Amino acid sequence: MYLTGEQPAYADQLINHLQSLPAQMLEGLEPAGPALEIADLPDVLGALPGDQLFLVESGLLQASIDERPVFYLCEGDLLGLRQGLELPACRIGCEDPVRLRPYARAAAFAHIHADPRRQELLTQYLSGQIALLSDALARLRQPELRPSTGFLHFAAGEELIHQGDEADNVFIIVEGHAEAFVDGHRVGDVQKDEIFGAMAVFTGEQRSATVIASEPCTVMAIPKEQFVSLMHSNPRIAHSLIESLARRVRLLNQEVTQLRDEQPA
């Protein structure tokens, strides 16, 4: 997905990353039929079956709201996620030829839900689109009202979050690796595609740990209100978060066991 108008500095790298995710999510799933070739359609979704998702293999589609262009879908993007939802009318059209690979919606979501890794990829894809559109909205507001959210970059050794701070965002590491510390003691790793910072958002308490980049990191910051809304609308995201927290607890238990074994008898 490419936004119309001015692109933020981080956009190209992260948009390319997001566009690689649908093919990974659908890997191993048989298409619902041969690729479709379309062109010169003002309402693409109106001309396609409503029970299918479509992977854009080539070409460019323009999405408009109230006849105003908002964003473009291109190679690697997923078309048809909005079907069945009561959302503001968004018309997606094309002029030049576009090639689409069809997948049965029910089979696609079952395929994604069957694997925690694919669930995390879907979470990242949807969250990335929300962050990009939020950034576009922020750029339409007055500068003093622009929120400091979106995609953030950290050098090795920099703090992603600090223990004791207020929790306004949930984070996902898009690229890189980080480590978590409590009271200066290392308690675990935060890996690529992992959600972190959610516990304090849900409890309303201050950050319980400091997270420090162990290598250069790109981090997606999602405002807590948007993340909670996304959790309510898509239970699979809640499942992915539970998987992430369970992995974190397991790593913490391993760290505690190791420290206990290292104590002198």
Q: Give domain limits for the chain.
A: 2-112, 148-262
Amino acid at 69: P
Model confidence, pTM: 0.54
Residue with tokens 């299918």: 52
Fold match flag (2-112 vs 148-262): yes
Integer Cα distance of 86 and 115 in angstroms: 28
* pLDDT tens over the chain, length 265 residues: 766 666 666 677 778 888 899 999 999 999 999 999 999 999 898 899 889 999 999 999 988 877 777 788 889 999 988 765 555 677 889 988 999 999 999 999 999 999 999 999 999 888 888 877 776 666 554 343 334 446 788 999 999 999 999 888 888 888 899 998 988 888 888 888 788 888 777 777 888 889 999 999 998 888 877 777 666 655 665 666 666 666 666 666 666 566 666 666 5
Integer Cα distance of 72 and 2 in angstroms: 5
Cα distances (angstroms) measured from residue 199 to each of 16, 40, 109, 175: 29, 48, 27, 21
Q: Which CATH superfamily is domain 148-262 in?
A: Jelly Rolls (2.60.120.10)
Q: Which helix (H) or strand (E) holds 35?
A: none
Dihedral pair phi/psi, residue 99, rounded to 5°: -115, 125
Token digits of residue 247: 């992995």
- In 3-state terms the chain splits into helix, strand, coil percentages (rounded to 5) of 35, 30, 35
Fold of 2-112: Jelly Rolls (2.60.120)
